[in-house]
Amino acid sequence: MQFTRADFPEGFNFGVATSSYQIEGHSFGGAGRTQWDDFAATPGNVKNAETGAIAADHYHRYEADMDLVAQGNFDCYRFSTSWARVMPDGFTVNPDGLDFYDRLTDAMLARGIKPCATLYHWELPVPILDRGGWRNRDIADWFADYTHTIMARIGDRMHSVAPINEPWCVAWLSHFMGAHAPGLRDIRATARAMHHVLLAHGKAIHTMRGLGMDNLGAVFNFEWADPADHTPEAAEKAALYDAIYNRWFLGGVFKGEYPANVLDGLGVHMPDKWQDDFPTITAPVDWCGLNYYTRKLIGPDGGAWPGLKEVEGPLEKTLMGWEIYPEGLYNFLTRTAREYTGTLPLTVTENGLASPDVIENGRIDDPQRSSYIAAHLASVRRAISEGVPVNGYYLWSLMDNYEWAFGYEQRFGLVHVDFDTLERTPKASYHQMAQNLRR
Ligand code: FCB
Task: Quick: pLDDT tens for 212-225.
Answer: 999 999 999 999 99
C-alpha 169 – ligand 1 centre gap (Å): 9
Per the CB < 8 A criterion, the answer to whether 115 and 157 are in contact is: yes
pLDDT value at position 6?
97
Residue 1 has pLDDT above 90, yes or no: no
3-class DSSP state of 290: strand
C-alpha 158 – ligand 1 centre gap (Å): 22
3-class DSSP state of 333: helix
d(CA 202, CA 196): 10
pLDDT tens readout for residues 387-409 = 999 999 999 999 999 999 999 99
**Residues shown for the chain:** 439
Q: How many CA atoms lie within 13 A of 243 on its CB side?
A: 18
pLDDT value at position 273?
98
Torsion over CA: 274, 277, 279, 280 (sign): negative
pLDDT tens readout for residues 8-64 = 999 999 999 999 999 999 999 999 999 999 999 999 999 999 999 999 999 999 999
d(CA 98, CA 82): 10
Using CA atoms, how far residue 249 sits from 2, 221, 390, in Å, is: 35, 10, 19
Per the CB < 8 A criterion, the answer to whether 120 and 163 are in contact is: yes
Q: Which residues fall within 8 angstroms of residue 277, CB to CB, at 6 or more apart?
A: 195, 198, 199, 202
Range of the domain at 238: 5-436
pLDDT tens readout for residues 299-343 = 999 999 999 999 999 999 999 999 999 999 999 999 999 999 999
Q: Does the Cβ of 249 fall within 6 Å of ligand 1?
A: no
Q: Whose CA is nearest to atom 5 of ligand 1?
A: 396
Per the CB < 8 A criterion, the answer to whether 147 and 204 are in contact is: yes
pLDDT value at position 247?
98
223 is catalytic: no
pTM: 0.98
CATH number for position 79: 3.20.20.80
Dihedral over alpha carbons 180, 184, 189, 194 (to 10 degrees): 20
C-alpha 272 – ligand 1 centre gap (Å): 32
Q: Is beta strand 346-350 parallel, antiparallel or unpaired with respect to 308-311?
A: unpaired
Residue 268 has pLDDT above 90, yes or no: yes
166 is catalytic: yes
Give me the helices (H) in 282-322, please: none
pLDDT value at position 335?
99
Share of the chain above pLDDT 90, in %: 99
Q: Is beta strand 308-311 parallel, antiparallel or unpaired with respect to 287-300?
A: antiparallel
Catalogue the E-assigned strands of 191-286.
217-227
Beta partners for residue 424, in sequence order: 417
Catalogue the E-assigned strands of 28-138.
76-80, 114-120
Question: What is the count of structural domains for the chain?
Answer: 1
Q: Does the Cβ of 166 fall within 6 Å of ligand 1?
A: yes
d(CA 61, CA 421): 13
